[in-house]
Amino acid sequence: MADLKLTNIKKVYNNNVEVLRDINLDIKQGEFIVFVGPSGCGKSTLLRIISGLEGISGGTLEIDGQLVNDIPPAMRGIAMVFQSYALYPHMSVYDNMAFSLQIAKVSRKDIDTQVRKAADMLQLTDYLDRLPKALSGGQRQRVAIGRAIVRKPKVFLFDEPLSNLDAALRVATRMEIANLKESMPESTMIYVTHDQIEAMTLADKIVLLSAGNIEQVGPPLELYENPRNVFVAKFIGSPAMNILPAKLTQTGEQSRLEFPSQDDVIVPIKTPDRDINTAVSFGVRPEDLSVATCEDYLVEGDIAFIESLGEATLLYVNVEGCPDMVICKLSGTSHFKRGSRVKLSTVPEKMHLFDTAGLTYRNTL
Residue ranges that bind ligand ADP, judged by CB under 6 A:
13, 15, 19, 37, 39-45
Nearest-approach distance from CB 113 to ligand ADP, in angstroms: 36
In this complex, which beta carbon is closest to ligand ADP, that of residue 135 or of residue 157? 157
The DSSP secondary structure of 87-109, one letter per residue, reads: --TTS-HHHHHHHHHHHTT--HH
Element (H, E) at 242: strand 242-251
Q: From the CB of 6, what's the least distance to ligand ADP, in Å?
A: 15
Q: Kindly tell me which of 39 and 183 has the beta carbon lying closer to ligand ADP.
A: 39
Q: Whose Cβ is closer to ligand ADP: residue 39's or residue 277's?
A: 39
Say how far apart CA 254 and CA 184 lie, in whole Å: 53
CA pair distance 52, 36, nearest whole angstrom: 20
Measuring CA to CA, how many Å separate 310 from each of 167, 259, 332?
A: 19, 32, 6
Q: Which is nearer to ligand ADP, 15 or 183 (CB)?
A: 15
Burial tier of 263 (Cβ tally within 10 Å: 0-12, 13-18, 19+): exposed
Q: How far is the CB of 46 from ligand ADP (least distance, A)?
A: 7
Neighbours of 202 (CB within 10 A): 23
Q: Give min distance, CB of 23 to ligand ADP, in A.
A: 12
Alpha-carbon gap, residue 352 to 362, rounded angstroms = 10
- The DSSP bridge partners found for residue 313 are 308, 330
Angle between helices 93-103 and 108-121 (to 10 degrees): 130
194 vs 256, which CB is nearer to ligand ADP?
A: 194
Q: Taking the complex as a whole, how short is the minimal distance between the CB of residue 21 and ligand ADP, in angstroms?
A: 12
Measured from the Cβ of residue 233, the count of other Cβ atoms closer than 10 Å reads 26
Beta carbon nearer to ligand ADP, 12 or 134: 12
Compare residues 85 and 354 and give the one whose CB is closer to ligand ADP: 85
Phi and psi torsions of 3, nearest 5°: -90, 150
Nearest distance from C-beta of residue 194 to ligand ADP, angstroms:
7
